[in-house]
Structure 1
Amino acid sequence: MRWQVQEAKQRFSEVLRAAEGEPQIVTKHGQEIAVVLDIDEYRRLRGEPVGFMSYLRADAVAGDEFTVERSRELPREIDLGE
């Protein structure tokens, strides 16, 4: 979402709430001048360590896909010495 400076100042609480879902771009005279983003996303971009729950929340917001590929092969046979 894009916000003009005046609108962003008047509706700052709304800008902050929206930033929890996706970065909010602030413009001045049509030029992008700032971005308001979630603190967990900011820390991730800076490479700062985050807690496990924060990581999970940030990952869902970022839209990164987390998939686990499981092998479809049968398990190997093991000789138990019988």
Structure 2
Amino acid sequence: MTITTLSSREFQQNANQAQKAARSGPVFITNRGKPTQVLLSIEEYQRITGQRRSIVAALSMPGLSDIEVEFPRSREVPRPADFS
């Protein structure tokens, strides 16, 4: 794991560099020499918090209502469920 530290100015000027660095480890962003934020990859954040995205959270993301999806109709006749 590589820890990267950037000033807030460096972060603003090189956001792409910070995103790339976050793939290898946390990126500490400082303001006047003091850490104020940490940039993590989503995988690392989920590992630390133990969170997994639920289908409800995924479907409630902003902007998804603008996407049109068409599902092909199945030609198969539905079968009753077997609960035995």
Q: Shared fold (TM-score greater than 0.5)?
A: yes
Q: How does 1:42-81 map to 2 (within 5 A)?
A: 42-49=45-52
Which residue matches 1:39? 42
Q: Which runs of 5+ in 1 are unaligned?
A: 51-82
Deviating runs (4+, > 4 A) in structure 1?
A: none
Deviation at 1:49, TM superposition (A): 3.5
Please identify which structure carries the higher helix content.
1
Aligned to 2:27, which of 24, 29, 37?
24
Q: Aligned-residue CA RMSD in angstroms?
A: 1.3
Which residue matches 1:59? none
Which residue matches 1:10? 13
Q: Which runs of 5+ in 2 are unaligned?
A: 54-84
Write the letter of the residue equivalent to 2:10: E
